[in-house]
Homo-oligomer: A and B are copies of this chain.
């Protein structure tokens, strides 16, 4: 029993099921825009691609369907939902409300170290967007990192989960557009709104943080909608 103390130091090893791995793989495909709205997904094909049986893929897909990130058509075909412009607008409005609220809470209660983390994330994105040869995929990731650094400091775990799901849902549309028009992200809009949001968080000004972040989302949404890539019905 003299080993009790040293045993306590053992890191409890995480148990990842194949379904977990499959979920992450598919979610990444969706978030990165490599799976675009309307695309069909086959359980068997996905399974052989991942080198497993259909079971883990099935479970992963059922989770994604529950999240509304995938859908099973009445014909039982699995596909990425095609959003109407109206759907996308409603999703964006929800995001503005929910994420704006999270940003406001962060502004009002952030600690010094949380603020530092947000500052670093903002600087990282700014660096990439302003570089000579910006990498689109990398900029998307840094943009996400910045947003979630802000949300992580809101102090409400359930709120973070909600936002993560909203991003997953909006991901395919946003990244599809971004692939077609990578220049947009790198222009001034996002940079300006990010700076405003950061300033508001520094000043502990909740409403201003919410407004700046909502403006960021609104502008990105309007830009995508102006492209007319979405069905109108």
Residues of A near any B CB (own CB < 8 A): 12, 15, 19, 58-59, 62-63, 66-68, 74, 76, 87, 90-91, 93-94, 97-98, 101, 155-159, 161-162, 166, 169
Q: Is the CB of B94 within 8 A of A162?
A: yes
Q: Kindly report which residue of chain B lies nearest to residue A58, judged by CB atoms.
A: B59
A15 and B74: CB pair below 8 A? yes
A93 in contact with B156 given A66-B67, A98-B98 (CB within 8 Å): yes
**Is the beta-carbon distance between A62 and B19 smaller than 8 angstroms?**
yes
Q: List chain B residues, Cβ under 8 A from A58.
A: 59
Q: Which B residues are in CB contact (< 8 Å) with A93?
A: 156
- In the assembled complex, 11 residue pairs joining A and B whose CB atoms fall closer than 8 Å, in A order, are A62-B63, A66-B66, A68-B161, A87-B157, A90-B155, A90-B157, A90-B158, A94-B158, A97-B156, A158-B166, A162-B162
